[in-house]
Amino acid sequence: MPNELENVLLVVSGPSGSGKNTLLNYILENRPDSVHSVSATTRAPRFFEHDGVDYYFKTTAEFEQLIDEGGLIEWDKYRGNYYGTLVSDVQRKIDMGLNVVFDITIPGAENVKRLFPAETKTVFVLPPSIRILRHRLVNRKSDDEETINKRIEFAIRSEIEKYRDFDYVIVNDDLDEARRNILAIYDSLTNPDSENTAAAERFKKDAFAEHAEETIRKIREEIRADAEEDAGEQIQQ
CA angle 114, 209, 120 (to 5 degrees): 25
Each residue 37-56 as x (binds ligand 5GP by CB under 6 A) or -, in order, gives --x---x-------------
Q: How far is the CB of 76 from ligand 5GP (least distance, A)?
A: 3
Q: Does 104 bind ligand 5GP (CB under 6 A)?
A: yes
Number of chain positions touching ligand 5GP (CB under 6 A): 13
* Cα(98)–Cα(61) distance, integer angstroms: 31
108 part of the interface to ligand 5GP, by CB under 6 A = yes
Q: CB of residue 15 vs ligand 5GP: minimum separation in angstroms?
A: 8
**E strands within the chain?**
9-13, 34-36, 40-41, 56-57, 72-78, 81-86, 99-103, 120-126, 168-171
Span of 61-69, 81-89, 115-123, 202-210 interacting with ligand 5GP by CB under 6 A? 81-89
Between 111 and 190, CB nearer to ligand 5GP: 111
In this structure, are residues 163 and 177 in contact, taking their beta carbons and an 8 Å threshold? no
The CA distance from 206 to 197, in Å, is: 16
Sign (positive or negative) of CA dihedral 43, 75, 190, 99: negative
Interface residue with ligand 5GP among 76, 119, 159, 187 (CB under 6 A) is: 76
- The nearest distance, CB 39 to ligand 5GP, in angstroms, is 3
Q: 168-171 and 120-126 as β-strands: parallel, antiparallel, unpaired? A: parallel
Residue type, 38: V
Closest CA to 91 of 32, 37, 41: 37
Using rule CB under 6 A, residue 124 touches ligand 5GP: no
Chosen residue from 103, 119, 167, 187 binding ligand 5GP by CB under 6 A: 103
With H, G, I as helix, E, B as strand and everything else as coil, classify residue 191: coil
**120 counts as binding ligand 5GP under rule CB under 6 A:** no
Pairing, β 56-57 against β 72-78: unpaired
Confirm or reject binding of residue 16 to ligand 5GP (CB under 6 A).
Answer: yes
* 84 belongs to the binding site for ligand 5GP (CB under 6 A): yes
Nearer to ligand 5GP, 151 or 179 (CB): 151
63 is a contact residue toward ligand 5GP (CB under 6 A): no
Residues that bind ligand 5GP (CB under 6 A): 16, 39, 43, 74, 76, 78, 83-85, 103-105, 108
